[in-house]
């Protein structure tokens, strides 16, 4: 069971299978919440989300149980969308074309990225769980890439996945264009275009061509730890 699924199991959800109309309404509320949370922050009024979704505030409670339940649903959606896009880029076939395609469609990712930025600003327990979910997914991407021969294996895959995830999220947080104020989702795609143009080359360069000309620092570190990563002793 994934992290979002474990969190959903804690919510007071109805046991009956939802009708197609219920599913459509839930998705509409979730999408409205992602956009509203991205624009105004995680403290955005539920009434505003209901208005955006064209439903009554009571329907939010009916479908999600609480504000926290709505946050969990948004997290699950963001993780699923991120998982899909990352898997496409890291796939052994067609990855360069997938990357270029996603860069060309950056407008569609603006609400999701804005939502993640707002979560990072909040820094609460749900945010930490969201990040843990991203790290767990990254481990899966890397393991898949290693098996496909497109990624170099790591001595400590979870640690590498967490570091790269934190690098990416930290960079976004440092460059957040709106600070604690309203985030203009209409202007965000242009900012994302400029941000991507600035970081794509050095990022791919670092990931493709080693920064260090030789392995002397790594060799010295591994020698000092008997060749094992801290916290991961050999059996």
Per DSSP, helices labelled H in 16-105 are 20-40, 46-53, 57-64, 67-90, 95-104
Going along the chain from its start, the domains and CATH numbers come out as 3-11+18-224 (1.10.357.10)
Q: Say what the pLDDT of residue 195 is.
A: 85
Residue 158 neighbours by CB distance under 10 Å: 16
| 102 Cβ contact partners less than 8 Å away, ≥ 6 residues apart | 85, 88, 89, 109
CA distance 55 to 197: 39
Handedness of CA 79, 84, 90, 95 (dihedral sign): negative
Q: Say what the pLDDT of residue 175 is.
A: 81
Local confidence pLDDT in tens for the 235 residues of the chain: 333 333 333 222 333 344 444 458 999 999 999 999 999 999 999 999 999 999 999 999 999 999 999 999 999 999 888 777 665 555 554 444 444 444 445 566 788 888 998 998 888 999 999 999 989 988 988 898 899 888 899 999 999 999 999 998 888 888 877 666 788 888 888 888 888 888 889 988 988 998 999 999 999 999 998 766 555 544 4
Q: How far apart are the first and last CA of the chain?
A: 28
Q: Say what the pLDDT of residue 18 is.
A: 45
pTM equals: 0.74
Tell me how many degrees the CA angle 166-171-172 measures, rounded to the nearest 5: 100
CA distance 77 to 83: 10
β-pair partners for 232: 229
Residue 42 neighbours by CB distance under 10 Å: 19
Q: Say what the pLDDT of residue 128 is.
A: 93
At which residue do the structure tokens 């600003």 appear? 121
């Amino acid at each position: 069971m994934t992290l979002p699924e474990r969190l959903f199991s804690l919510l007071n959800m109805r046991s009956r299978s939802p009708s197609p109309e219920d599913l459509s309404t839930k998705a509409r509320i979730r999408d409205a919440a992602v956009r509203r949370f991205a624009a105004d922050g995680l403290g955005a009024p539920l009434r505003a989300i209901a208005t955006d979704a064209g439903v009554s505030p009571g329907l939010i409670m009916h479908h999600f149980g609480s504000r926290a339940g709505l946050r969990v649903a948004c997290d699950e959606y963001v993780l699923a969308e991120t998982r899909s896009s990352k898997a496409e880029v890291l796939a052994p076939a067609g990855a360069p074309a997938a990357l270029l395609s996603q860069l060309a469609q950056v407008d569609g990712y603006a609400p999701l990225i804005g939502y993640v930025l707002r979560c990072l600003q909040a820094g609460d327990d749900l945010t930490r769980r969201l990040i843990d979910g991203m790290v767990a997914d990254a481990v899966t991407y890397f393991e898949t890439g290693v098996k496909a021969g497109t990624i170099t294996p790591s001595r400590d895959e979870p640690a590498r996945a967490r570091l790269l995830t934190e690098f990416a999220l930290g960079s976004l947080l440092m460059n957040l264009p709106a600070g604690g104020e309203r985030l203009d989702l209409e202007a965000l795609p242009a900012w994302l275009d400029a941000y991507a143009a600035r970081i794509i080359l050095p990022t791919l360069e670092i990931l493709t061509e080693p920064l260090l000309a030789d392995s002397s620092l790594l060799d010295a570190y591994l020698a000092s730890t008997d060749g094992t990563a801290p916290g991961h002793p050999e059996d």
